[in-house]
Amino acid sequence: MEIVDALPLFHTHFVAASLLQAAFTQAAAHAKTLDCEVCGYYTANEREVDTELSSIAKAVAGKVASNCEHACVLLVNNKKLATLSSPTPCLITYSKKDDGWQQRNEEALTLADVDRTTAGLPAMCAERVYETIADFEEHLEDIGTKDWLNPGLIS
């Protein structure tokens, strides 16, 4: 599986089911324009020490898994992100197993060009670029100026 894009859906842990369904419908439509499918979900916990999927994350990931046999979840590893000292991705990978989600070893995720992918991260954090990212919910609140596809964010 190759992941070619990531779309921010929500920056909150409380999402109405109807809004989640609308976001998935739009994400699937966008993926189709790229000749792709929605294959995973990324999330981050509030606390640095949390490395487990929340119940909301499991529910959202379950929706993805209902449409993609090999669905995965990428959880931001806040400890690695906080230090930015590791050349490995700041992500913990989970895959569907039976009725739950199982953490995979670090080798389960590889980035096609890890140097290019991670090189700009410290500068982007220092410049607070994350504050300019619009998610799906913000897009619905201000369609004229907030594009949840965030074109041009990473070049």
Phi, psi at residue 32, to the nearest 5°?
A: -60, -35
Determine, yes or no, domain membership for 61.
yes
Determine, yes or no, domain membership for 150.
no
CA–centroid distance for 150 within its chain: 13
Phi, psi at residue 26, to the nearest 5°?
A: -70, -40
Determine, yes or no, domain membership for 28.
yes
For 39-88, give the DSSP string: -EEEE--SSTT--S--HHHHHHHHHHHTT-TT-EEEEE-HHHHHH---SS
At residue 85, the pLDDT reads: 58
Determine, yes or no, domain membership for 104.
yes
Determine, yes or no, domain membership for 7.
no
Rounded Cα distance, 75 and 3, in Å? 15
Domain range for residue 27? 17-141
Q: What is the pTM of this model?
A: 0.81
Rounded Cα distance, 74 and 40, in Å? 7
Structure tokens, 32: 């189709």
Residues pairing with 94 in the sheet = 73, 103
Mean pLDDT of all residues belonging to the chain: 84
Rounded Cα distance, 78 and 146, in Å? 26
Encode pLDDT of 107-144 as tens digits.
Answer: 767 666 667 667 777 788 888 988 889 989 889 899 99
Encode pLDDT of 9-37 as tens digits.
Answer: 887 767 778 888 898 899 999 999 999 99
- SS3 at position 30: helix
Number of separate domains in the chain = 1
Encode pLDDT of 55-92 as tens digits.
Answer: 888 988 998 999 898 899 999 888 887 676 555 668 88
Determine, yes or no, domain membership for 155.
no
Rounded Cα distance, 5 and 112, in Å? 13
Determine, yes or no, domain membership for 4.
no
Question: Quick one: which of 69, 74, 75, 76 has its CA closest to 96?
Answer: 69
At residue 117, the pLDDT reads: 66
Determine, yes or no, domain membership for 81.
yes
Rounded Cα distance, 31 and 34, in Å? 5
